[in-house]
Amino acid sequence: MNHETIVKRHAYSYIRFFSLEQAKGDSFRRQTARTEEFCNTHKLILNDTRYADLGVSGWTGKNMESGALGAFLLALKAGKLEKNSVLVVENFDRFGVS
């Protein structure tokens, strides 16, 4: 009998929106729901550690310099994340890079 071991990959959520005014709308709920849906569809374990830059500009680089995205990158470099993990982002523009 050949049994394959299936190892589920961990996923970390990254949510960002530019203005705190957007927090009054649907942006946070929508991005969270889409992340959960993506993880369920792709059989990923959504880690309890979440990264969110709420009201932080991505275009100025603040999210990487002093925001949650920067904290994620530091944790990645320090080996503090589950091996073979993925970062789930609603859209590439959430990174704020052009």
Q: How is the chain split into domains, by residue range? A: 10-95
Q: Is the pLDDT of residue 43 over 80?
A: yes
| Homologous superfamily, domain 10-95 | Resolvase, N-terminal catalytic domain (3.40.50.1390)
Provide the pLDDT confidence category of residue 4 given band limits of 50, 70 and 90. Answer: low
pLDDT of residue 8: 85
For residue 49, is pLDDT > 90? yes
The pair of three-digit structure tokens given for residue 23, joined into one six-digit string: 């927090």
Residues sharing a CB contact under 8 Å with residue 30, sequence separation 6 or more, in sequence order: 90
Sheet of 10-17, strand order: 45-54, 10-17, 86-89
The pTM (predicted TM-score) of the whole model is 0.82
Percent of the chain exceeding pLDDT 90 equals 55
**Mean of pLDDT values over 23-30:** 84
